[in-house]
Chain A
Amino acid sequence: MIKKHWAGIVASLVVFLLFLTSLAAFNRVHTTGAFEVPLLNWFAVSGMSVTWGLLFDSLSTLMFTMITGVAFLIHVYSIGYMADDDNRARFFWYLNLFVFFMVILVLSDNFLGMFVGWEGVGLCSYLLIGFWSNNRSYLTAAKKAFVMNRIGDLGFILGLLVMFLTFGSVQFSEVFSLVQQVPANDIALILITFLLFVGVTGKSAQLPLFTWLPDAMAGPTPVSALIHAATMVTAGIYMIARSSALYELAPQVLTIVMWVGVATAVVGAVIALRQSDIKKVLAYSTVSQLGFMVASLGAGATFPALFHMVTHAFFKALLFLGAGSVIHGMGGEQDMYKMGGLKRDMPLTFSVFLVGALALSGCPPFSGFFSKDAILLAVHHASPIAFYTLIGVSILTAIYVARMVFLVFFGSQRSDTHAHESPAVMTVPLVVLAVLAAGAGFYHPELELIMLGGTVILLALIWGLTYPRYAVKAVDDRCDQFLSFDLVYHALIVTPILASGRLIHSFFDRDIIDNTAGGFGELISGLGQSLRSLHSGSIGFYLWMITAYVAVFLIGFSIWPF
């Protein structure tokens, strides 16, 4: 058995070692304080130099620990999930590569090193989404994810460029100390923060660059859990948290950030309500929850955003892995309307999934309640309108979560497939994540019993009202293309670019340039043809010409002798 699973075992061990390292680093930072590990010079050009180095402080060690911990659990899970796939060795190789780049992203001590990790995780995301490369549509989804990310990356690069021009460096230490001397509302700072945020929009799937995330569900479910719920998409959150020194001095950009987050939260939740594929529901849910985190950052509250990021990593990974368990048990089926009644056949999966669902809905005493609450409070200080909007989104969240749970696990069995529970190698990580999702939240500075009680009542109401619609009757209200930004983008951007490419190629390239160049040739040969008529063969004509030329020459010479 070890021989069959050697790749998964080795990969999981590597990540486990990294996890232990992260714990050690975390411990050291919280006892002795932050420390740096400079590595080597990357390149230096005319006064500007970039180095490789690592920075361990509370933020980066938090990220490091979370990433490696969750990644380890997902690696173990994948041993079971990918057990029958011929290419599983390659899968684990890509998965490890991803962890490597993600670690570089969070531990790097300068923005350019972070960018190496940033693009690296984008690359691994591409490789893993398109992992089953026989399917052309999966490859297209992977390509779309990568290109859309690249649009964000362009913003990130431009932000880096302005940063270089303004501060002469991209080292965290230098930039964050130099920025103290910059007055607020400086145009360069606004540009930098805004452009970096464009990068975040791409990587963390905010409006308008979020449509790649649902498509990324083409990849194997562990990939969705790791990359598209817990780690890569949180890179943007980390980036803004890291650059808070910059963002504090650009309040206009923070306002934009907050409202983009709020809008994203709304759109994500609304679309999730109408999806029929279980993974798509979770994908849009991730978009929505990321919107929450971004909104919190925009409101100036970094800690709630990070808190929610961690809890979300736990329960969303749990939900995805649970969905993977369901899909695995159902032999590959992902349509919720073809499921139903699975709580009888897959009790363990059901229980952990329920935990995740409750956490996502923000039900106390699970972790999601505390983190979401913290965000709501922070946003309330910044803007009441945003606050009420996010409350509305939370209600929508509860609705689509309930819908999902009821359709999948309750009601009558709508399919003939006999679902079976997943093996232990998959269920144990699920349980661990469930424990984390349940218990990781007990930290709340301003707990009010009103909030707690109100939330419980509201959730009970929602679950009660949706129960008959989805659990008993399983109303089919799917609309998979609902509010499809994808179609809009395809029509407004993709098709015009391709069309203009063809147009330019045929019109400018062929008709204009080729004809101009050919025209010169035609001109010369036409000139030759017309001069050819001088070769009349008539001797008399030749004699006339000779005489005329000599005469002209003589007359000319007598007037202008050289």
Chain B
Amino acid sequence: MNPEFHYLILGCILFSIGVLGVLIRRNVIIVLMCVELMLNAVNLILVSVCEPIFVFFIMMVAAVEVSVGLALIARIYRKFGTTDISTFGQLKG
């Protein structure tokens, strides 16, 4: 049982928590936070298993994604007055 293995397990657990959160939670900000959690879990796994160089890419993607996502959420909130994803049915059909 080397140290990498523990980090790997931790990473997987964090990833699963993130996935579960994305699927279950109804508040769109929480969903975004869970996506962040998934990204960072992947970061952890990558660092523990192979080259740490990939971490920079993932962190860059996470940053961009968060900024755009939050801006979109702010817009959506202003338009619909709620952050409950079960009410966002406009893409139907």
Contact = CB atoms under 8 A, between A and B. Distances in A.
A538 B89 CA distance: 5
A547 interface: yes
A539 B85 contact: yes
Interface stretch (A138-146, A205-213, A529-537): A529-537
Given A543-B22, A543-B23, A547-B23, A538 B93 contact: no
Nearest to B19: A547
Nearest to A532: B93
A538 to B, nearest CB: 6
Interface residues of B, number: 13
B54 interface: no
Contact of B85 (A535, A536, A540, A547): A540
28 contacts: A532-B93, A535-B91, A535-B92, A535-B93, A536-B89, A536-B92, A537-B88, A537-B89, A537-B90, A537-B91, A537-B92, A538-B86, A538-B88, A538-B89, A538-B92, A539-B86, A539-B88, A540-B23, A540-B26, A540-B85, A540-B86, A543-B22, A543-B23, A543-B31, A544-B23, A547-B19, A547-B22, A547-B23
A530 to B, nearest CB: 14
Contacts of A537: 88-93
A536 B90 CA distance: 9
Interface in B51-93: 85-86, 88-93
Interface in A509-556: 532, 535-540, 543-544, 547
Given A538-B88, A539-B88, 20 more contacts: A535-B91, A535-B92, A536-B89, A536-B92, A537-B88, A537-B89, A537-B91, A537-B93, A538-B86, A538-B89, A538-B92, A539-B86, A539-B91, A540-B23, A540-B85, A540-B86, A543-B23, A543-B31, A547-B19, A547-B23
Tell which of A532, A538, A539, A543 has the most Cβ of chain B within 10 Å: A539
Contacts of B22: 543, 547
A538 B93 CA distance: 10
Size class of A's contact patch?
10 to 19
A532 B22 CA distance: 24
Interface of A, helix, strand, loop or mixed by DSSP: helix
A157 to B, nearest CB: 65
A544 B86 CA distance: 13
A544 B90 CA distance: 18
A538 B87 CA distance: 8
Interface in B1-52: 19, 22-23, 26, 31
Contacts of B92: 535-538
In the complex, the 5 A-B pairs of residues with the closest C-beta atoms, listed nearest first: A537-B92, A537-B89, A537-B91, A539-B85, A539-B88
Contacts of B19: 547
A537 B90 CA distance: 6
A544 B85 CA distance: 13
Nearest to A537: B92
B16 to A, nearest CB: 11
A540 B84 CA distance: 10
Contacts of B91: 535, 537, 539
A535 B26 CA distance: 19
Contacts of A532: 93
Contacts of B85: 539-540
A382 B18 CA distance: 110
A539 to B, nearest CB: 5
A547 B31 CA distance: 14
Contacts of B31: 543
Nearest to B89: A537
Contacts of A547: 19, 22-23
Contacts of B23: 540, 543-544, 547
A543 B93 CA distance: 17
A543 B89 CA distance: 14
Contacts of B89: 536-538
A88 B20 CA distance: 101
A547 B19 CA distance: 8
A532 B91 CA distance: 12
A540 B22 CA distance: 8
Nearest to A535: B93
Nearest to A544: B23
A416 B19 CA distance: 114
B41 to A, nearest CB: 15
Nearest to B22: A543
A491 to B, nearest CB: 61
Contacts of B88: 537-539
Contacts of A543: 22-23, 31
A72 B86 CA distance: 103
A540 B25 CA distance: 9
Interface string A12-28: 00000000000000000
A523 B59 CA distance: 48
B27 to A, nearest CB: 12
A456 B23 CA distance: 120
A547 B15 CA distance: 12
Tell which of A532, A540, A547 has the most Cβ of chain B within 10 Å: A540
Nearest to B26: A540
A538 B88 CA distance: 7
A537 B86 CA distance: 9
A267 B31 CA distance: 101
A556 to B, nearest CB: 18
